[in-house]
Structure 1
Amino acid sequence: MASGGAEVSDLAAEAPLLVAKPGEPPRRNTFAFICATLASMTTILMGYNLALMSGAELFIREDLGLADEQVEVLSGSMNVFMLVSILTAGWVADHAGRRATLVLANALLMAGALAMSLGGSYAALMAARFVTSVGTGFAAVVAPVYAVEISPASSRGVLSSLPEIFINAGILLSYVANYAFAGLPLHLGWRVMFAVGVVPPVFLAAGVLAMPESPRWLAMRGRDADARTVLARTSGTAAEADLRLEEITQAVAAQGEVTGGVWRQLLVRPSPTVRRILTNVLSLHFFQQASGIDVIVLYSPLVFKQAGMASNAAVLAATVAVGVVKTCFILVATLFSDRVGRRPLLLSSAAGIAVALASLALTLCVGAPSSARAAACVASALAYVAAFSVGLGPLAPSYGNEIMPLRLRAQGASLGTAVNRVTCGVLSMTFISVAGGITMAGCFFLYAGAMVAAWVFVYVRLPETRGRSLEDMDVLFAK
């Protein structure tokens, strides 16, 4: 790897659009920030619905008389159901547009939240979970793609991290809702927790409709004038907008010369460059979930109880602390990914996760359950989510989206997110059963080993992408 100063100089030479002309200082990309924020806010409800079950299941189990196996399936099924929309999101986004797909996601999220709050049986809750999952899958794929495509290269690290920030904000809000409504009557509390998620999608859909379409999608549809209008508002200077449009149109033309459909280029007969890129994308998504993050999000109450924490109130308060730390530390990645680069943050994150998981495992297998053991368990969990949030959490999807070629980006993102959710679903739907066989400590030692492998993978396979234009990634991976 080159030194920091030399690397920046090289990037400036290779990507002239990052350098303003003399006497024409770049303005702030406020409009790009607003657009990326509106698109990314859809993922708040993804985080909210994924994590809400961690506390709600304590009350649903008792209210509806569900068995452990039913609770395990209800909690983890979202990751399986999401595959329906994840695998079609790329096709829908390529044909209907990024913006229309996000509006559809919000409509489904609203309907799913309403159905969950009214559900009176296990079957009704599973059906509602399916509707919510389809909306969540669309949001999970398309929001990061839009954020990457609307962003100029100089601030893409910040803006492409926004979906993960809002996912974490949703997780935190779900923990707060668990804690705030836990004191309501048994049959009412968990319903209010889900009902809170009904209203936000209405306002988010209206906001999404007010923002422009992705300039890269517009260029793919031959609408260069519309793409130029959007680029003019999301670039620092008019010259930068022209350069970005030229790069995009050249990339569209080059990909138009490639024979075969998108799936053929991705899976059937990919070029060596595409194969290298796709391997990196899928591996990053796998390792993100192999860290066991959704196990912590969904089952932290069970983990804390096994460590010696007795009351539900204390357990739910501890999960709120996990959500606060997870949300705060993701700002580190947002602030530094454009300064120090993606690669150093990913390496630091994988190493920190491995150490924190090993520590968490040790607290669960040493000594008898006690308040001191519970405190050590919570401390290890906080260290774990902090390490996850500074790198692997936000950067796995954003790195994958920025390196994927334009024509393949939406459906490549679908594949990556599918691997992410399958891995997550396998871990979350089997955690209780596997922990019964190898203990919870054994599970966390296993996840720690996966993070050691992740560190090696990042060190060997992933080049730095900081400051490069999206259209320049083929050159980087063709080396």
Structure 2
Amino acid sequence: MEKEKKIPSGFIYFFGSFGGILFGYDIGVMTGALPFLQIDWSLQNSAGVVGWITSAVMFGAIFGGALAGQLSDKLGRRKMILISAIIFMIGSVLSGVSPHNGSIYLIIVRIFLGTAVGAASALVPAYMSEMAPAKLRGQLSGLNQTMIVSGMLLSYIVDFLLKDLPEHWAWRLMLGLAAIPALILYVGVAKLPESPRFLVKSGKEDEARKVLTYIRKDDNEIDQEMADIKATAQDETKAATSTSWGTLFSGKYRYLVIAGIGVAAFQQFQGANAIFYYIPLIVEKATGNAASSALMWPIIQGVILVIGSLVYIAIADKFNRRTLIMLGGTVMGLSFILPAIINMLIPNTNPMMIVVFLCIYVAFYSFTWAPLTWVIVGEVFPLAIRGRASGLASSFNWIGSFLVGLLFPIMTASMSQEAVFAIFGIICVLGVVFTKFCVPETRGRSLEEIEEEGTNK
């Protein structure tokens, strides 16, 4: 037993968050694939079909997040991440071999693929928050965001490198290559331990203690954390026998559930994914140049996102979660609203102005709402309801993402881009107000302390 090989904590944290690569790649890949798909299948004037193909992944993710949250309470976070990786590999390959003009086929396959993306978005934050010590939880959960935006940047670079291929090959390879990070995720996660909180909840205390020895340095810290986890698990086991979907909104949990779900929903309804999915088409509408020649813009957005995620890791546990979220939401709202105001006052403004403001939006989104949404979702829910509540929060997040992806091309076909983004800007401001009055501060507090605050509300 003395010679048993330990799993390095860095390996655990890296592959624990690697699901974000899949999440990010699939958010980003359609950005570059769409202009070629539109040409190949003659979809330039089919805003509804384009919206459905783009948003089908998010539609599947609505269900994947909820189902994975529930199943992970029974099977464990690790096993569900492995299942998600398999679904992702299959869905990516099937997308790449779509029959010509097979819009319905591609939509169905991408809904299937979306169940895996939604599962990863729910499971990775829950797994990371249960593995990380309270003082590092913001940084390590922020690692998930770095993985997501790195996946997006990777997809943008792949799209750019493949842009000179014939249209029918370019978009197929862009979608199909997502199977590679899915395979890497499967191999890595197969070597990871289960979350200690899930193991205690399943009656496997010795295994939970062993996992904690990989990721905590001090025996006293391990003893204290085991005692906290066991005490909470005993309380939650009693409550779990009567836990149902209705329990999420009972008096004891309502405050925390509304906070987590609200933040997850606002993150998407603020319109970030309209930029990530459609930036080449946004630039095309602003400049008149072909979208397929605007694939450098997604890379610029991707670089901003990665830099922002690294900034977040550097400052994560130095500033309160609520402070950063309200700062980000305010600047994001102004970045969307100001172009509409300037356009009204100075009608002949350079149309690229809106793209500059979108870059400012992305910069502030990247180190505030983007990572903090998942940090808060990972921190705010009590153990008895964490699987279900995280899944529900993820589903609301994906509902927002689905609606933005579906409606944005339809909205921009019927009104100016400035007007569409001004609507998103108002939603950003509402998100700031919601955070101020409805979201508790979670920085540097144990999951048990946060739960106690919800109980006392």
TM-score by length of 2: 0.93
Q: Is the contact made by 2:243 and 2:384 (CA closer than 8 Å) also made in structure 1?
A: no
1:309–1:362 Cα change, 3 Å: farther
Q: Equivalences for 1:243-258 in 2 at 5 Å?
A: 243-258=224-239
Q: Corresponding residue for 1:274?
A: 253
Equivalent-residue separation in structure 2 for 1:361 and 1:236 (angstroms): 54
Please say if 1:53 is aligned against 2:30. yes
Q: Is the contact made by 1:404 and 1:412 (CA closer than 8 Å) also made in structure 2?
A: yes
| Of 438, 450, 461, the match for 2:427 | 450
Describe the superposition over 1:349-407 as per-residue Cα deviations: whole angstroms up to 9, x where unpaired: 111111211234456665458xx432x23221111111111111111121122110012
Please say if 1:425 is aligned against 2:406. no
Describe the superposition over 1:261-315 as per-residue Cα deviations: whole angstroms up to 9, x where unpaired: 2423214xx12x4100011011101110121011111111222122215144652
The worse-fitting range, judged by mean Cα deviation, of 143-152 and 185-194 is 185-194
Q: Corresponding residue for 2:377?
A: 400
Q: Corresponding residue for 1:25?
A: none
Q: Which has the higher contact order (CA 8 A, sep 6+)?
A: 2
Tell me which amino acid in the other structure corresponds to 1:138: A
| Of 112, 133, 151, the match for 2:91 | 112
Equivalent-residue separation in structure 2 for 1:409 and 1:203 (angstroms): 27
Describe the superposition over 1:85-121 as per-residue Cα deviations: whole angstroms up to 9, x where unpaired: 1121112111111111011111111111111111122
Equivalent-residue separation in structure 2 for 1:235 and 1:405 (angstroms): 22
Q: Corresponding residue for 2:131?
A: 150
Q: Is the contact made by 2:309 and 2:366 (CA closer than 8 Å) also made in structure 1?
A: yes
Q: Equivalences for 1:326-341 in 2 at 5 Å?
A: 326-341=305-320
Describe the superposition over 1:36-84 as per-residue Cα deviations: whole angstroms up to 9, x where unpaired: 2202112211211122112211111121233332111101121112122
| Of 141, 144, 154, the match for 1:160 | 141
1:361–1:321 Cα change, 3 Å: farther
Describe the superposition over 1:7-48 as per-residue Cα deviations: whole angstroms up to 9, x where unpaired: xxxxxxxxxxxxxxxxxxxxxxx9444312202112211211
Please say if 1:86 is aligned against 2:86. no
SS in 1 for 2:319: coil
Please say if 1:242 is aligned against 2:223. yes
Q: Corresponding residue for 2:297?
A: 318
How far did 1:128 drift?
Answer: 2.2
Q: Is the contact made by 1:73 and 1:429 (CA closer than 8 Å) also made in structure 2?
A: yes
SS in 1 for 2:253: helix
SS in 1 for 2:193: coil
The worse-fitting range, judged by mean Cα deviation, of 83-92 and 407-416 is 83-92
How far did 1:476 drift?
Answer: 2.6
Q: Equivalences for 1:468-479 in 2 at 5 Å?
A: 468-477=445-454, 478-479=456-457
Give the total of aligned pairs.
Answer: 445
The worse-fitting range, judged by mean Cα deviation, of 237-246 and 42-51 is 42-51
SS in 2 for 1:468: coil
SS in 1 for 2:190: helix
Describe the superposition over 1:230-261 as per-residue Cα deviations: whole angstroms up to 9, x where unpaired: 11221130110110010000001111222512
1:301–1:96 Cα change, 3 Å: same
Q: Is the contact made by 1:87 and 1:414 (CA closer than 8 Å) also made in structure 2?
A: yes
Tell me which amino acid in the other structure corresponds to 2:246: R
Q: Corresponding residue for 2:276?
A: 297
Please say if 1:373 is aligned against 2:351. yes
Q: Corresponding residue for 1:351?
A: 330
Describe the superposition over 1:190-236 as per-residue Cα deviations: whole angstroms up to 9, x where unpaired: 11112221222222111101011000000110111111111122113
Please say if 1:227 is aligned against 2:208. yes
RMSD: 1.9
Please say if 1:389 is aligned against 2:366. yes
Tell me which amino acid in the other structure corresponds to 1:324: V
Q: Is the contact made by 2:281 and 2:291 (CA closer than 8 Å) also made in structure 1?
A: no
Equivalent-residue separation in structure 1 for 2:11 and 2:408 (angstroms): 39
How far did 1:343 drift?
Answer: 1.7
Tell me which amino acid in the other structure corresponds to 1:40: S
1:350–1:106 Cα change, 3 Å: same
| Of 65, 71, 89, the match for 2:50 | 71
Q: Corresponding residue for 1:263?
A: 245
How far did 1:437 drift?
Answer: 3.5
How far did 1:318 drift?
Answer: 1.3
How far did 1:435 drift?
Answer: 2.7
Q: Corresponding residue for 2:416?
A: 439
Q: Corresponding residue for 2:3?
A: none
How far did 1:130 drift?
Answer: 2.1
Q: Is the contact made by 1:402 and 1:470 (CA closer than 8 Å) also made in structure 2?
A: yes
SS in 2 for 1:199: helix
SS in 2 for 1:387: helix
Equivalent-residue separation in structure 1 for 2:151 and 2:62 (angstroms): 21
Tell me which amino acid in the other structure corresponds to 1:198: A
SS in 2 for 1:373: coil
Q: Corresponding residue for 1:5?
A: none
SS in 2 for 1:184: coil
Tell me which amino acid in the other structure corresponds to 1:93: S
Equivalent-residue separation in structure 1 for 2:304 and 2:281 (angstroms): 19
